[in-house]
Amino acid sequence: MSDFKRKAKSLKNCQKKLNQQLESIYQDIDLDVTFEELSEKLIFLMRLDKTCHAPVAAQNKWSEQDVILITYADSLLEADKKPLVTLHHFIDKYLGKSINSVHILPFFPYSSDDGFSVIDYSSVNESFGDWKDIQAIAKDRRLMSDLVINHCSSRSAWFQNFIKGEGVGHDFFYTASPDDDLSKVVRPRTSALLNEIQTGKGLQHVWCTFSHDQVDFDFRNPVVLENFVTIIRQYLDMGVRIFRLDAVAFLWKKAASECINLPETHTIIRLLRTLIEHAQPDAIIITETNIPNVQNLTYFGNANEAHAIYNFALPPLLVHTLVSGDCKHLKRWLMSMPPAQNGTCYFNFIASHDGIGLRPVEGLLSDQELNRLAVTLEGFGGKTSWRTTDQGQQKPYEINIALYDALQGTTEGEDKLGFYRFICAHSIMLGLEGIPGIYIHSLLGTRNDYEKLENTQHNRAINRHRWDYNTLKEKLSGHPDHHKNVLSELKHLINIRIKQKAFHPNATQFTLHLREQLFGFWRQSQDRAQSIFCISNVSKNTLDLSLSELNLIITESWYELITGAKIAPGQETVSLLPYQTLWISNLDMDI
C-alpha cells in the first residue's frame, strides 16, 4: 500500500472513530454543526489532514529505562538565570542518564495554586523562561506537561470576556443555579461550589470545583473542546510527549449527579487519545484522578482511554506500611490490582507537589487507621487538609508533608532510622509494575518548608520548597549530608532498575506471602529470561529470611542487585537490616 493510501485509510478510520465519540458526548445537546463537521474541524486543528499516523494497538510506548522526574519549573533558583535553564543544568549535571523523562508542572502564566490556575495556555511564564527553554529540555528528555483541562484562572482573557459577555470565552464556563440539586456533587474542597459573578449578560453563578480563582469549563460547548485540541497541537509542536490530564474526573457536569467520573468525561478522554495517537505515535496520556482506587482503574477504559493512570493508592498505603511496620494492607491492595494490559501501564509515585491523598485508600484503610496515620504525620510537622462529603461531613482529604519528614519515625514517634525508611519506600516503588515518577524534593531529601507554609498559609506549600541552586550545589558537592546521601542512594537504585528487563512496566508481577514485616513481590521479564524477587523489611528489627520461602532453586547462583552480593548455591537464609530491601535476581545487573 502506498503512503498516500495508508494515510487516507488512517484518516478515514480516525474520522469514523471521532464521529462515534462526538455523538456519544453530545447526543443530548443541540449543536449548530453536525458531528461530521465537528470531526473535520478537530482533524484540521490537529493537522491530521497533513499527517495522520495509524496507531498500533496494544503497543507499550515505554520500557524499564523510563523514570520521570517531577518538578516545578522554578524549584531551583539561580541569580541572573532563568529557572528553566537552571533546571536543565541540574538535570544534565546531577542526573545524567539515570532519568530520561521530566514532568515540568504547569509552566504557564498563572494566578494561584502554583500554576494550576492558568491565565494563558499558549505561553511560558516569563519568570521561568520561554518556549525555547522548554524545547531544549524536550530535546534531551521525554517531556511531560500538564493539560489543565477542567478549569482556568478567573484572570484569564477567556473569563474576562465571560464577565463582559462578549468575545472568545464568553460562553466557555459552566454556570448553574443555586436552586439546582447540587447535593450529590463530589468535591475535594470546602469552599462554596458556585461563585456569584455580575456579567454583561446579568448575574451568573459560576461553577468552581477547586477555588473561586479556578473556574470550570463547560464542555457542552464544543468550541471549548476545539480550543483544547489547538492547545494540544501546540504542545506537541513544542516537544511535549506525555500529557497529564489534570483533575479530569470532574470535567463533565450534570445537575442531580455526583459530577465526577461521568460517561461523557471518559468519552472525551478517548477522543483526545484518538487525536493524539493519530498525530504523534509516541505520545501518551496520563490521567490525574485522585479518587478511590476502584474508580481510578476505570480510566484505563478498555485499553482505549488513558495510556497510564496515577497509582494514587500507593503513597498512603506505603507510608502507612512503613510507619506502622505492617504490610498487610499494602499486600492486600497489590494482590487486588489487575495487571495493566499491553498498551497501558501504571504511573507509580510516592510524593508529589500535592500531599499524600487519602481518598484513594477509602475502603482500604479504616477511618481509625487513617486518623492514626494523620496524627502520626502531624507529629512530624505535617498538616491535614479537609474536604466536604455529599452528606456535609468534614473528612481528611490529604496530608501535606515532605516525604522525607513523613518517614522520620513510626507510630511510636521519631527515631534515627528515617533515612533507611525513606530509601526503602523508593526501593519498593522502583520495583513495582509501572513507570516510576520521583518528585525533585524526594530526590534531594528536602525537608518541610515551614517558612513558605507560613508566608502562603496554604498547606501544600510545605512540600513546594524552592532551592537556591548555589546552596544546593554546595550540599551536593561538599561533605556528605542527608541531601547528598539521598541523591546518591536513589541514583544507585535507579541505575540498577533501568538495566533490568524484569522491571519493565508491563513485566509479570506476583505478590509474595511472607510475614507482615516483610513485603515482597516477584517480577519476571516478558521474555521470561529474568526473575527478580523484591523483598523489603518494613520494620525496625533485623529479620532473617529463609530462601525456601521464595522457592529459589538453591542449586543455581542468584545475585542481590542492590549490594552486588552473590547468593551462593546452597545458602539457606539471608538477613535484612531494618528497612533494607533486597532485589534478588537470577541474572546480575550487567547481563
List, by residue number, the catalytic residues: 246
Does 353 carry a binding-site annotation?
yes
Category of 210 on φ-ψ map: left (φ > 0), alpha (ψ -120 to 50) or beta: alpha
Does 504 carry a binding-site annotation?
no
Beta pairing, strands 142-148 & 101-104: parallel
Q: What span, in angstroms and rounded, lies between the C-alpha atoms of 579 and 581?
A: 7
End-to-end CA separation in angstroms for the chain:
41
Does 479 carry a binding-site annotation?
no
Of 437, 462, 463, residue with least CA distance to 314:
437
Beta pairing, strands 214-216 & 202-207: unpaired
Give me 500's grid cell: 533490568
Does 187 carry a binding-site annotation?
no
Q: What are phi and psi of 317, to 5 degrees?
A: -70, -40
Does 354 carry a binding-site annotation?
yes
Q: What span, in angstroms and rounded, lies between the C-alpha atoms of 580 and 424?
A: 6
If you search the block for the grid coordinates 498487610, which residue do you land on? 328
Q: What span, in angstroms and rounded, lies between the C-alpha atoms of 192 and 185?
A: 12
Does 329 carry a binding-site annotation?
no
Give me 21's grid cell: 465519540
Distances (CA, A) of 516 to 150, 315, 334, 366: 41, 18, 14, 18
Distances (CA, A) of 359 to 293, 351, 389: 8, 15, 11
Of 365, 370, 362, 361, residue with least CA distance to 312:
361
Q: What span, in angstroms and rounded, lies between the C-alpha atoms of 83 and 81?
A: 6
Does 244 carry a binding-site annotation?
yes
Residue list, annotated binding site for substrate: 113, 151, 244-246, 353-354, 460
Residue list, annotated binding site: 113, 151, 244-246, 353-354, 460
